[in-house]
Amino acid sequence: MRILVTGAAGFIGFHVAARLLRDGGTVVGVDNLNGYYDPRLKRSRLALLEHARFEFAHVDIADRAAMEALFEREKFSLVIHLAAQAGVRHSIDRPHDYIDSNITGFLNVLEGCRRARVAHLIYASSSSVYGGNTKTPFAVEDRVDHPVSLYAATKKANELMAHSYSHLFRFPTTGLRFFTVYGPWGRPDMAPYKFARAIARGDVIDIFNYGRMQRDFTYIDDIVEGVVRLARQAPEGYRLFNIGSSKPVPLMKFVHALENAFGRRARKRFRPLEPGDMVHTNANVSALERATGFRPSTPLEAGVGKFAEWYCDYHREELNEHGTRRASDSRQFAAAFRAS
């Protein structure tokens, strides 16, 4: 299969592309390598994707002409759309970035798939669409009419856009609502990475809502497994799934797991809830399990341990200055992938 993965230099996109290559697929990866966070991390991910069956295209999905040319040049049997302008808090300060990437960019992907008659589009939504919902666990059948950030609103808009294309053009689309993804090669703007950096350096961690938060932390391998299994099933029309651990964890328990992994205590500063933040997330994954026979199962301590090992290896030179004790298996990950 020739597969397009947008956001291939991003956290989830990189892991999905690597898995598809290991499974024998041919992958075209698209990314604009923007500066939302350090592009060097994105280029490091891409370096691990060097493979005879991988091609990288430095393209912004919001560039209509470039996306039209890409779909005209390539013949994709599957599109996995993971590119987006991420970040809840960033959407408050830079709203136009979210309309350009998440709305215009998604439209360009939909149009490309429609015109090229792509057999199946899988796209990333987000648990943030549940917004102000109080019923838990969150189920895909629940109404999601109260987003509490512009980022969440754009993801809800993506679901509506996909539904309209599936209805009008009999076009198969699968939307995936991801729940707080963490693991090796993660995003520096997300809490797990921020916490790890602060603990390793001895800096202060900001704990919002005074620690009274719960998150459905989901390890990256479980996210990838769900994506790959659903990619094998082209639906007749439109469908949605949650992919989350379905085991919400108090924020302070996650912090303690990181402290144990790094072997040092965090310096904490407790602060009020930030605008756009959700207090509690919890995924109902029964639909995913019925469709694929799979549900995420990586224990928190195991996932956090692997993340901490990778973090210490990737930042080895910097952390030597701070005396952080862990070593990592990320070189083994790279060697195993290249040998496959």
Q: Is 327 left (phi over 0), alpha (psi -120 to 50) or beta?
A: beta
Q: Are 277 and 289 in contact (CB under 8 A)?
A: no
| Tokens found for residue 159 | 């679901």
| Dihedral sign computed on CA atoms, order 51, 52, 58, 61 | negative
109/112 Cα distance (integer angstroms): 5
- What's the pLDDT score for residue 87? 83
Query: Using one digit for the tens of pLDDT, what is the confidence trace for 199-241?
Result: 999 999 999 999 999 999 999 999 999 999 999 988 889 999 9
User: Catalytic one among 36, 37, 123, 151?
Assistant: 151
| Tokens found for residue 132 | 């102000």
- What's the pLDDT score for residue 323? 59
3-class SS at 231? helix
Nearest one of 56, 62, 112 to 84, comparing CA atoms: 62
Q: What is the pTM of this model?
A: 0.93
Regions of the chain short of the pLDDT cut 50 = 326-340
Burial 33-61 (b: 16+ CB within 10 A, else e): beebbeeebbeebbebbebeebebbebbb
- What's the pLDDT score for residue 319? 73
Give me the torsion for CA of 322, 327, 332, 333, rounded to 10°. Answer: -60
| Dihedral sign computed on CA atoms, order 143, 141, 124, 337 | positive
Query: Using one digit for the tens of pLDDT, what is the confidence trace for 67-120?
Result: 999 999 999 999 999 999 988 888 888 999 999 999 999 999 999 999 999 999
3-class SS at 262? helix
- What's the pLDDT score for residue 276? 76
- What's the pLDDT score for residue 132? 84
* Three-class secondary structure assignment of 38-59: CHHHHHHHHHHCCCCCEEEEEC
The strand ranges marked E within 115-196 are 121-126, 173-178, 181-182
Nearest one of 18, 32, 41 to 193, comparing CA atoms: 41
| Tokens found for residue 72 | 């005209």
| Tokens found for residue 228 | 């790959």
- What's the pLDDT score for residue 1? 81
Antiparallel, parallel or unpaired: β 26-31 and 54-58: parallel
- What's the pLDDT score for residue 100? 97
- What's the pLDDT score for residue 322? 59
Nearest one of 256, 275, 260, 265 to 309, comparing CA atoms: 260
- What's the pLDDT score for residue 340? 42
Nearest one of 70, 62, 65, 66 to 2, comparing CA atoms: 70
List, in order of start, the domains of the chain with CATH numbers. Answer: 2-339 (3.40.50.720)
3-class SS at 119? coil
Q: How buried is residue 123: exposed, middle or buried, by Cβ count under 10 Å (0-12/13-18/19+)?
A: buried
- What's the pLDDT score for residue 44? 97
Active site residue 151: yes
171/168 Cα distance (integer angstroms): 8
